[in-house]
Amino acid sequence: MNVSTVEIEKAASILKLLGDKTRLTMVMLLNNHDCCVCEFVEIFKMSQPAISQHLRKLKDAGVVRETRRGQWIIYSLNQDSDFYSLVQSVLGHLPSQDYLLEELKEQGLRISCE
């Protein structure tokens, strides 16, 4: 793992972003699978604007990026971010959250966005 150094103030702002259970889980999921907003809405049982606002913060910080695919906007982890290696280090300590996507699949809700 490449351990690049990050200014302490910027690091704090990234850690603050990751210091929210919803956002941390989002990033954890995005580390393995691209996802669209509607999937997160299902997973977190949260309003669509709430999800959009979390994603916007992550995007503003450069942690994730978005790509439009038809009417969907697909979010993915930004591997070019200055903070990518910091984020990876953190994620390495967390248990996989992929069961959340499995549950979606069982409900037939995962496919809708792919």
Cross-strand pairs, 77: 64
Task: Determine, following the binding rule CB under 7 A, whether residue 113 of this chain makes contact with DNA.
Answer: yes
The binder of its own copies chosen from 38, 41, 46, 90 (CB under 8 A): 90
Distance between start and end Cα atoms, the chain: 31
Residue span binding its own copies (CB under 8 A) among the ranges 14-22, 34-42, 44-52, 72-80 = 14-22
Cα angle 79-10-62, degrees, rounded to a multiple of 5 = 30
3-class DSSP state for residue 88?
A: helix
To the nearest whole angstrom, how small is the minimum distance from the Cβ of residue 108 to its own copies? 26
Interface residues for its own copies in 94-113 (CB under 8 A)?
Answer: 94-95, 97
CA distance 95 to 24: 12
Q: Note whether 46 binds DNA by CB under 7 A.
A: yes
Closest CA to 94 of 28, 20, 21, 3: 28
Question: 69 - beta bridge partners?
Answer: 72
Is 77 a binding residue for DNA by CB under 7 A? The answer is: no
Q: Select from 4, 32, 50, 114 the one that contacts DNA (CB under 7 A).
A: 50
Under the binding rule (CB under 7 A), the answer on residue 53 touching DNA is yes
Residues near DNA (CB under 7 A): 16, 19-20, 22, 36-38, 41, 46-57, 66, 68, 70-73, 112-113
